[in-house]
Amino acid sequence: MPAPVGDLLWGPSGRRRGHARLTLLALAVYLLFSAVCWLEVHLGMMQAAPAAWLCATSLAGISVFYGLVRSGLSERLSSDPSLTMPQSVFGIAITAWGYAINPQLRGAVMAIMLLNLVWGMFVMSPREARLLGAQALALLGGVMLWKSRTDPAQFPPHVEAIQFLFCVILMTAMSALAVSMGRLRAKLRQRQAELQAALAKIHHLATRDDLTGLVNRRHLTELLDAERGRQKHHGQPLSLVLMDLDHFKPINDEHGHAAGDRVLKIFADAAQAALRDTDVLGRWGGEEFLLMLPSTPQAQALQCVDRLRAGLAAAPFDEVVPGLRLTFSAGLSTCGDGEALQAAIERADKAMYRAKLRGRDGTVVG
């Protein structure tokens, strides 16, 4: 089918399109059954007036369902945008009606009743499947009882009793199968959720530093390469800041590695709070951190570093070591046109060491 026609009938891509296609398929099934009804009328097996009312009601009803699904209105009316349960209940009612006005082929109508259960088997929950099976059995059984009393000539009571027993067996079996399918879907959804959670955890472990929660060096390198490509394409500046915590080794030596780890974590949290959403801070190694500043020229990058220093001044390092004031030495470089990323990192590294030689707690532009 040409794409414009498909878009018109089924709607935009996504779940709504799939729901609309299924509802349109149901409409086609109703059309076929209506054609069979009129064939029975032509052969003298059904009366024209009841057949006309049945066909008109069934086609009007399924058309309403199609309109609700295709327009997206069903997404606001129900937690199930496909309206599977309402469509199935409607189909059961139409089928029971057809049973009442089609005495000669009412056995075939029972097969259509099963189709209503199969239709929702892959969508309904176990509870909905049991409820739908009970509704189908109750409605069809009620019609059988009614017709056997009001028209025993065409609906003999003993025949209807046997028909009902067959109906009980078939409906029970189909409902049990639908319940099993619902439980299987629930297990699959649970396993899919567990798999997604496991993949998210693996991704976190592969891209994050365990101690600080910042991106690790490998993932930061990937982000740098991607950002460098965007920078070249859009002509935006990319600034890098390599930072080394001043006098960090004595903290480990005098207060233990646990204290040093806590200091690193506090630094990471304070730095993250002081940065913009677009900035990326990663642990480069040990007490070294690399800050990526996309679309940031040199002057603004220096302001970002100053803002980070101000944030560190208020960080609670003294909770770990009384009186501790943590500072860092930083080297800043801005990637030039055509410059390799590694060359810009090396410039920032050399500038950082010059900052240390100048007395620490400062920033040098490389």
Q: Any idea which residues carry the catalytic annotation?
A: 287
The C-alpha atoms of residue 25 and residue 87 are separated, in whole angstroms, by: 12
Q: DSSP string covering 180-209, please?
A: HHHHHHHHHHHHHHHHHHHHHHHHHHHHB-
The C-alpha atoms of residue 79 and residue 38 are separated, in whole angstroms, by: 37
CA quadruple 266, 271, 274, 279: dihedral positive or negative? negative
Torsion of CA 323, 324, 325, 326, to 10 degrees: 180
The C-alpha atoms of residue 165 and residue 171 are separated, in whole angstroms, by: 10
Q: In what order do the strands lie in the sheet with 280-285?
A: 280-285, 288-294, 238-245, 328-334, 363-365
Rounded to the nearest 5°, which phi and psi values hold at 240? -125, 140
> Position of tokens 């506090």?
266
Nearest to 216 by CA among 282, 310, 315: 282
Q: Which residues of 193-205 are buried (b: 16+ CB within 10 A; e: fewer)?
A: eeeeeeeeeeeee
The C-alpha atoms of residue 245 and residue 264 are separated, in whole angstroms, by: 9
Angstrom CA distances, 284 to 28, 289, 298, stand at 63, 5, 21
CA quadruple 204, 305, 232, 278: dihedral positive or negative? positive
Do the Cβ atoms of 71 and 123 come closer than 8 Å? no
